Amino acid sequence: GRDPRVVSVSSLAHRTGWIDFNDLQGERFYSAWKAYGQSKLACLMFALELHRRLGGARAAGASVRAVAAHPGWTATDLQRTAGVVRVFNPLFAMKPEDGALPTLRAATDPEAESGSFWGPSRFFELNGPPVPARIPKRAQDETAAARLWEESEKRTGVRFDLDVAPGAATRRAS
């Protein structure tokens, strides 16, 4: 059967990220790790906001899911310039094919519900088979997520007209 999904790929770096609305593009202060953390938090927030905005479509019978995943600590080229991190790759890092498993599970598992987040199961989500991952409070900020969505539409010139207004899930629940 058909099971359409949008899977956003985040990273453990989402834990260090914060959305700086005064400097979204890093024009005032740029740091590669700050930008990476912010972008990976934004990817997770996007998935959660898309999940909320698709709520009306799901209520009308559509089956589109918005799901997110992160690969844990996976040995990739990302670490080749990260000195000390590269040294610990043999101890903690998974092979790329194992690091892809959380994304594959998010994309294919019938039990992966819309709004879920997947990552490795062991050692602070660094490695292991994929399971539901912890979603930090910062990523659950619906006001910031709606604002980030609107900023993204404004900056890209691409608008997505979905059935549900931002925050509608919250209004329905209260």
> Would you give per-residue pLDDT tens digits along the chain (174 residues)?
578 999 999 998 899 898 999 988 888 988 888 999 999 999 999 999 999 998 866 665 678 899 999 998 776 766 555 666 666 666 677 788 888 999 999 999 999 999 999 999 988 888 789 999 999 999 999 999 999 999 999 999 998 877 544 444 433 332
pLDDT of residue 169: 41
pLDDT of residue 37: 93
Residue 169 · residue 70 · CB < 8 Å: no
pLDDT of residue 47: 97
CB atoms < 10 A from the CB of 134, how many? 10
Q: Which amino acid is at 140?
A: Q
Half-sphere exposure of 126 (CA within 13 A, CB side): 10
CA 38 to chain centre: 11
Q: Phi and psi (nearest 5°) for 105? A: -65, -45
The two tokens of residue 19 are 């959305």
Has 36 been annotated as catalytic? Answer: yes
How far is the C-alpha of 47 from the C-alpha of 57, rounded, in Å? 15
pLDDT of residue 133: 96
CA 71 to chain centre: 11
Residue 11 · residue 36 · CB < 8 Å: yes
Q: Which amino acid is at 174?
A: S
Contacts with 61 (C-beta within 8 Å, 6 or more apart), sequence order:
none
How far is the C-alpha of 78 from the C-alpha of 80, rounded, in Å? 6
Predicted TM-score (pTM) of the model is 0.83
Active-site hit among 36, 79, 107, 152: 36
Residue 125 · residue 94 · CB < 8 Å: no
Q: What 3-state class would DSSP assign to 19?
A: coil
pLDDT of residue 174: 28
